[in-house]
């Protein structure tokens, strides 16, 4: 997927009305009127939304007699999903490191007899008194 296509896809997905239309089309083919029904906007406004989705290759429109039908083009969504997924390993590593750190804090709290790790850390920062006799 090239950068321009990716930009158009995410731009189209940025609007809640367009996302709702895609969700509806994931259930099957729908007419423009069916897509417009849940919204309190005009048919021309819905048509503009559909034009953005069509421009991003997220839907395909066709005319069948008097019906204007819309179909989901899932391949474009798959390509956007694949692009996002390439960062999955990055986030998994970060969440793994966070989990390890939280477990370490929990273990330190348990070892210190219920004293929180933050309290233990604060205690360690306090100046130590010299217990040697002078």
* pLDDT at residue 20, as a whole number: 97
Query: Among 35, 34, 73, 36, which residue's Cα sits nearest to residue 56?
Result: 73
Is residue 9 domain-shared with residue 72, that is, in the same domain? yes
Q: 60 φ, ψ to 5°? A: -130, 135
Element (H, E) at 20: helix 16-25
Over 90: is that where the pLDDT of 117 sits? Answer: no
Has residue 40 been placed in a domain? yes
* pLDDT at residue 42, as a whole number: 92
Average pLDDT over residues 4-9: 94
The Cβ of residue 4 has, within 10 Å, a number of other Cβ atoms equal to: 8
| Domain hosting residue 107, numbered range | 87-121
Is residue 7 domain-shared with residue 57, that is, in the same domain? yes
* pLDDT at residue 121, as a whole number: 54
0.75 surpassed by pTM: no
Is residue 73 domain-shared with residue 108, that is, in the same domain? no
In three-state secondary structure terms, 131 is coil
Please write the tens of the pLDDT for every residue from 47-106: 999 999 999 999 999 988 888 899 999 999 999 999 999 888 888 888 888 888 888 888
């Amino acid at each position: 997927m090239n950068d321009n296509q990716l930009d158009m896809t995410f731009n189209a997905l940025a609007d809640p009305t367009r996302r709702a239309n895609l969700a509806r089309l994931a259930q099957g083919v729908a007419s423009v009127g069916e897509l417009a029904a849940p919204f309190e906007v005009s048919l021309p406004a819905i048509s503009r939304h559909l034009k953005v989705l069509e421009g991003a290759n997220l839907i395909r429109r066709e005319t069948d007699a008097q019906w204007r039908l819309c179909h989901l083009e899932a391949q474009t969504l798959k390509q956007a999903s694949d692009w996002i997924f390439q960062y999955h390993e990055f986030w998994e590593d970060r969440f793994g490191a966070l989990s390890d750190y939280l477990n370490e804090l929990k273990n330190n709290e348990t070892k210190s007899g219920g004293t929180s790790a933050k309290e233990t850390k604060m205690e360690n920062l306090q100046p130590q008194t010299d217990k040697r006799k002078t």
